[in-house]
Structure 1
Amino acid sequence: MKKIYFSQIVTTLVIFLTFSSCSDDYLDQTNPNNISTDIFWETLDDVDLGLTALYKHWSSANNIILVDELLRSDLAWGSGYQRPTNSNVYYQQTFNNAAPELNNKWAQNYKTIFAANQVINATQKLLGTFDKEEDEEAAKLILAQARLLRGHNYFILYHSFNEGNIPIFSEVPEDEADFYQPIQDAASVRAFYMEDLKFAAENLPVKWEGKDLGRVTAGAAVALMGQTHLYNGEFDEAATYFKSVINDFGYSLTPNIGSNFTTLDEFNSESILEVSYSMDYKNELGPWDSRDVANTGSYNKKFTGVQGWRNAVAANWLILEYRNEKLDYSDNRNKVIDEEGNEKFRKFSLRTSWSIALVDDPDLGYYGFDTPGQATNFNVKMTGYWRKHTNWDLGEKNEDLISPGKVRSAINERLIRLAEVYLQYAECMIELGDVEEALLYINKVRHRSAVQLLGANGTGEYPSSDHDNISYTAETLMHHLRFKEYPLELSAEGDGNRNIDLNRWGIKKSRFQELAQRRYTADNYEVIMPDGTKITRWGTILKELPTDDPLVDPNWNEFQEASQNYIESEHAYWPLPNSELITNPELYK
């Protein structure tokens, strides 16, 4: 199932080596029992071992902190309590530089960069010293992988912290002073990591095979360069990179959108950048041990609706968008057979059913039950759970049975996939005035999930499919892309994309204010259990109401605090963490 495996020793090897050599004269003799930088990094096997350790650092969920990024955006609500009680500082937009998650994110990204620099510097010294050309090529591949991984972590830091103004580490620290680097301006940071990505794009393969499946590729480097241009409003340049990803690397949309969310079909044709996890071994490790090859970020427990922690559930507006997504009734994939053998149409779109669990979804099971409503009671005003990142499809009754005594997951994290590139290319086309080209790529994504296509009837790549028969302008299509297509296709994925999007569009404050004005209630739903008994799931069918409707339940209000507390200068980016401010005397020099 997984193709990259990690040694327990390797996990700590990279950091250990930096501190194990001594310069005092009386210690000049090498201890043969001690691995040090004087005797390590001398062979191709050494740098390959270091690369394995680097991949392990890169796989840490703390590089992304996905749940906390979700709660900073307009996509999620979550605290573990019943509505309206909420004390989460990210959802409320009251976090500061002492918040533990942002400090963990900063630290982990620089740990990964530190590991990358060791591999990069050692490999650069070895290049040109090998007797065999195949060893030279193997070393260059190691270097290209390490530079992409370093480039990706700087990509994350650049788009996450302090408007991109952060320290740059390009070398391995040799003494204490080297660990303290000053802030570099955002333009220098971007130029630095773009050079890494350019090198990777020119030297990595299009695809790996066999046991190497899962290593980073040239397509990932090109996609990250395209996203960098997009996020900086450079739409011509971004479109060029995205079109290269689309045309030059052999990617294709998976027939089933669900292939991108669970252990099903990992490293598939749509995957561009993917973090590998496994639960094949290491049962001897504790549940939070960073050496484990499973995802100890525990996304499964944070997202699941069955004995989960309710750290993040889809926001009300997003649940309603999923509920209301219109089917393409001409597409046979929307036809199902009911219990009586009668043909009928699906209640919800394929994209909806594979993305979130709704209490009244009759067409896709949940943790071994026929319907989500049988599997969990949707209590404390939770009317929809993300299926993404959870093991609902494996037939077990809950996550605890997947990994007894542990809080782990083997689901790979798909950080970039082709559908995202299609939509980002479409955004570039809208900005450049080509609405028809944008519609073409948005409809490719929509057609994959058999939902109603955009535009005039009988037009486009799929003229026989149902269309909404709307004539889109650049403005109306951009509104659709921002508030329907991006969130419906990509919610709870990636590396913090939604916050980047809301920031670059300049709408985060107004978005919170608009959502804070919406009012809701929820109807009860009767579920027939497998034994034939009937159970009422209270307040599980969400509805939006006019603000003056007497049935409005204020306990369903969302983003009230965010609409008041959000300050762009303080909350658009993560601030420099207090751990860095306290320990780095060179930060502002």
Structure 2
Amino acid sequence: MIMKKLLKINIVLIIGFCLTMTGCKDDFLVQDNPNAISPATFWNNIQDLNYGLNAVYDAFSNGNSYRLVDELARSDYSWANGWQRPNNTNIYYQQTFNEASDANRHKWANLYTTIFRANQVIAACEDLAGTHGSEDTEEDANLVLAQARWHRAYAYFNLHNHFNNGQVIIWDEVPTSETGYYKAVSSSQEVLDFYRADLEFAEANLPSTWLEDANDDSDLGRVTSGSAVALLGQSYLFDGDFATASTYFKRVIDNYGYALTPHPMSNMTTYDELNEESIIEIIYTLALIDGKSSASTANVNQLLTGKQGWWGGVASNWLIQEYRNDPLDFSDERNMVTLPDGSPGFRRYTLRTSYSVAIADDDDTPYYGFSKTGLGTNFNVKMTCFWRKHTNWDIGASEREVEGTDGTTISGVNERLLRLAEIYLNYAECQIELGNVDEAMLYINKVRRRAGAQLLGPAGSGEFPFNDHDNLTYDATSLREHLRHKEYPLELSCEGPGGDRSIDLRRWGIKKQRYQELAQREYVGTSFQMENDEGNLIWKWGALCDEVAIGDGDPDWAEFQEAAVNYNEALHAYWPLPAAEEIANPDLYNF
């Protein structure tokens, strides 16, 4: 069984083929080694199926399947390497990557590793069906099969959305000969149909929840029927079928017991993991179980943190402005604070802003043991904001000083790949495109209310008439613009399976235009004074990022100039197939 904190079990699953030795006449030279593990000898019972399934979950948890920081750089969310400001040579940020680049090579390889392992489990489940000796064990084996097919589908969901215009290789079986390792890519529609069939099987055969006993959480983190329905909805959304997508999203919303957490922090740190909002979540831990840890070793937290970090995924300036300018809901008591002079006042930033990113003048939120964000680290050399997501700002003095890390760059923060807030916003997008603006606003405002942000629409309207509203009237065009460039980024930036923003910009047909627009914006670093924990005023030089009008003053830097020039829809809308695959597979394009 999969523990609540996923164990990394080192299982060798051998599917290799035997190469006969030509010219040898002695029979014993071509006999199977009776002491070697082979597919025929390994897969015998439900325990073996679960061992194989653990290996599938292990591949699923590998950060190379998502390449979050590289995917951030490939979108408009990130400046990429912050230490190089105002210059930047990151090939993903500059849109100069190609088939030989590391990110797409590793992403491709690990997604196919997941498929490879899932196919072994699927084949074994099918071979052993009817041999388990009891109805309960047969049901358990079918649950293993459904999980394996879910994982195969999720790997293809990512391959289809990220590589080669959706034209990738379909593996539905385990190769048994040398020639069996060479296959051509299939059409985008064939890949889509293939993984949808897996998701439909998973939906029909997986439970909506694995937790049957409040005292037993050993199955938490397993994939569910609700997650299969959610992915089916996204598959239709990304394909432009808003009506069908909408029906799937509404089923997720209504039928599976998911709910928004009361506080944004529940979805950002080790606090409140596997909560009621979580739909797909990778489980990591620093705790040792049987001498092993399932901590994340992708170092994502070290790339994103502002405290002794590597500055590998710095938020883009336009996004910082959106976080800073998201208006407060002054009717929300969570936004009330006590000011330094003892008088009542309000937070500087929304709860969502404060718990998504670290901004130097956020005096209301602690950071790495300091009472105010600006005291927790230096905000200089144009480093004016860091993501809090994925980092341990709430439980350590630095990433290396969290209990259990022993000075290494690992993290126990779970990876939230999909949560209900995203489904709310996906559903809202469908409603906008279907002409149901009021329904779309209803779900956008559910997310904004949880965020502590001012709601959209006329004062006194909607589901929450007593909360603050912006008192604007929205039509499909204005609400679409808000959703694309405010609500999606503010709620979901720097999370998920990686690359969601690139998918969105591509399917909206605006990625080149987006880079060109952003390249025209200019920014300055602004200094300010703040009070430290000893009550003394200190200067934070250039610690805030402010946008200035073109031609107004002497800007410190801009962004996305290279991307605006280099981005080519044919070359960069998807990851190209890796050069290693093109070299190794002579049948790749024989379709």
TM range (shorter): over 0.9
2-side partners of 1:117 and 1:138: how far apart? 18
Q: Quick one: distance in 2 between partners of 1:181 and 1:111?
A: 16
Contact 1:82 1:381 in 2 (8 A): no
Question: 2:589 aligns to what SS in structure 1?
Answer: coil
* Cα deviation digits, residues 422-460 of structure 1 (max 9, x gap): 000000000000000001000000011121100111111
Cα distance in structure 1, aligned partners of 2:55 and 2:572: 33
1:98 matched residue in structure 2: 100
Answering whether residue 532 of structure 2 is matched by residue 535 of structure 1, we say no
> Which residue does the alignment assign to 2:350?
349
**Mapped partners of 1:545, 1:55: distance in 2:** 48
Alignment of 1:414-563 (within 5 A): 414-495=416-497, 496-553=499-556, 556-563=557-564
Separation in 1 of the partners of 2:246 and 2:335?
33
The answer as to 2:235 corresponding to 1:228 is: yes
Cα deviation for residue 257 of structure 1 reads: 1.0
Say yes or no: does 1:18 pair with 2:15: yes
Q: Secondary structure at 1:466's aligned position in 2? A: coil
Task: Kindly provide the CA deviation profile for residues 222-261 of structure 1, in whole angstroms up to 9, marking residues without a partner as x.
Answer: 0000000000100000000000000010000000111011
How far the C-alpha of 1:39 sits from its partner, in A, is 1.0
For 2:29 and 2:283, how far apart are their aligned partners in 1?
41
Partners of 1:173 and 1:157 lie apart in 2 by 20
Letter in 1 for 2:10: I
1:37 to 39, 56, 59: 39
Aligned to 2:131: 129
Please say if 1:319 is aligned against 2:315.
no
Q: Give the whole-Å Cα distance in 1 for the aligned partners of 2:209 and 2:28.
A: 50
Farther-moved stretch of structure 1 (181-190 vs 402-411): 402-411
| Alpha-carbon distance in 2 for matches of 1:44, 1:29 | 28
Q: 1:187 aligns with which of 183, 186, 189?
A: 189
Q: 2:388 is matched with which residue?
A: 387
Is 404-413 or 180-189 further displaced after alignment? 404-413
Structure 2 contact 390–413 (Cα < 8 Å) conserved: yes
1:273 alignment partner AA = I
Between 1:516-525 and 1:563-572, the stretch displaced more is: 516-525
Residue 121 of structure 1, CA deviation: 0.6
Alignment partners' CA distance in 2, 1:378 and 1:282: 38
Deviates more, 1:422-431 or 1:27-36: 27-36
C-alpha distance in structure 2 between counterparts of 1:118 and 1:341, whole Å:
64
Aligned to 2:214: none
Q: 1:58 to 1:435 in 2, by over 3 A?
A: same
| Between 523-532 and 452-461, the greater mean CA deviation after superposition | 523-532
Equivalent of 2:204 in 193, 196, 202: 202
Structural RMSD (CA): 1.7
- The residue type paired with residue 71 of structure 1 is A
State the one-letter code of the partner of 2:391: T
Query: How far is 1:29 from its partner?
Result: 6.2
Q: Counterpart of 2:224?
A: 217
Offset of residue 298 of structure 1: 1.0
Contact 1:429 1:437 in 2 (8 A): yes
* C-alpha separation in 2, matches of 1:178 and 1:368: 56
Q: Distance in 2 between matches of 1:248 and 1:83?
A: 48
Structure 1 unaligned runs (5+)? 286-291
Mapped partners of 2:321, 2:440: distance in 1 = 25
The answer on whether the counterparts of 2:17 and 2:178 sit within 8 Å (CA) in structure 1 is no
- Secondary structure class of the residue paired with 1:201: helix
1:260 maps to a residue whose letter is N
Selected match of 1:247 from 250, 254, 272: 254
Matches of 2:206 and 2:555, distance apart in 1: 56
Q: 1:12-161 counterparts in 2 under 5 A?
A: 13-14=12-13, 17-19=14-16, 25-26=27-28, 31=33, 33-161=35-163
Matched AA of 2:281: E
- Displacement of 1:383 after TM fit? 0.7
The whole-number CA distance in structure 1 between the counterparts of 2:146 and 2:381 is 49
Q: How many residues align?
A: 576
Shift of residue 312, structure 1, vs aligned partner: 0.8
| Residues 378, 537 of structure 1: 8 Å contact kept | yes
Counterparts of 2:8 and 2:47, CA distance in 1: 14
Residue 31 of structure 1: how far off its partner (Å): 4.8
Mapped partners of 2:407, 2:358: distance in 1: 25
Alignment of 1:566-581 (within 5 A): 566-581=567-582
- Structure 2 unaligned residues grouped into runs of 5+: 22-26, 212-216
Determine which of 276, 283, 287 is the counterpart of 2:283.
276
Contact 2:69 2:80 in 1 (8 A): no
Q: Does the Cα contact within 8 Å between 2:3 and 2:219 map onto a contact in 1?
A: no
SS in 2 for 1:81: helix
Tell me the secondary structure at the aligned position of residue 10 of structure 2. helix
Q: What is the CA-CA distance between 1:190 and the residue it aligns to?
A: 0.5
Residue 238 of structure 1 aligns to a residue in which SS? helix
Q: Per-residue displacement from partner, 1:455-499 (whole Å, max 9, x unpaired)?
A: 111111001111111110000000000000000000001121100
CA deviations on 1:128-163 (whole Å, 9 max, x unpaired) are 222200001000000000000110000000000000
CA contact (8 A) 1:21 1:38 kept: no
Conserved? CA contact 1:161–1:576, under 8 Å = yes
CA drift at 1:320: 0.7
Partner of 2:273: 266
Aligned match of 1:397: 397
Query: Does the CA-based 8 Å contact 1:271-1:416 persist in structure 2?
Result: yes
Question: Identity over aligned residues, as a percent?
Answer: 52
Counterpart Cα distance in 2 of 1:167 and 1:544: 45
Per the alignment, in what secondary structure is the counterpart of residue 361 of structure 2? coil
| Contact residue 17 and residue 176 of structure 2 kept, 8 A | no
State the shift of 1:7 in Å. Answer: 4.8
Match of 1:288 in 2: none
Amino acid at match of 2:350: S
- Asked if structure 2 preserves the Cα contact closer than 8 Å seen for 1:162 and 1:573, the reply is yes
Partner SS, residue 180 of structure 2: helix
Cα drift, residue 28 of structure 1: 7.0
Q: Contact (CA 8 Å) 1:20, 1:36: kept in 2 or not?
A: no
CA contact (8 A) 2:163 2:575 kept: yes
Q: CA deviation at 1:588?
A: 1.2
- Whether the 8 Å contact between 1:374 and 1:528 is mirrored in structure 2 is no
The Cα shift of 1:519 comes to: 1.1
Instruction: Report how far residue 81 of structure 1 moved.
Output: 2.1
Whichever residue aligns with residue 329 of structure 1, its letter is: F
Q: CA deviation at 1:381?
A: 0.5
| Structure 2 CA distance for aligned equivalents of residues 4 and 50 of structure 1 | 17
**Mapped contact 2:8–2:58 kept (Cα < 8 A):** no
SS in 2 for 1:378: coil
Summarize deviations over 1:492-546 as a string: whole Å, max 9, x none: 0112110000000000000000000011112112233334444322111211111
Distance 1:44 1:111 in 2: 22
Whether the 8 Å contact between 1:51 and 1:119 is mirrored in structure 2 is yes
- TM norm structure 2: 0.95
SS in 1 for 2:91: coil
Deviation at 1:338, TM superposition (A): 2.9
Alpha-carbon separation, structure 2, partners of 1:40 and 1:189: 30
Q: What letter matches 1:146 in structure 2? A: A
Q: In 2 relative to 1, CA 280–20 (structure 1 residues): closer, same or farther, beyond 3 Å?
A: farther
Contact 2:456–2:470 under 8 Å retained in 1? yes
Distance 1:361 1:92 in 2: 31
Partner SS state of residue 366, structure 1: coil
SS of the equivalent of 1:486 reads: helix
CA distance in 2, matches of 1:494, 1:247: 22
Q: Is the 8 A contact 1:20 1:35 kept in 2?
A: no
CA contact (8 A) 1:4 1:212 kept: no
CA distance in 1, matches of 2:131, 2:290: 41
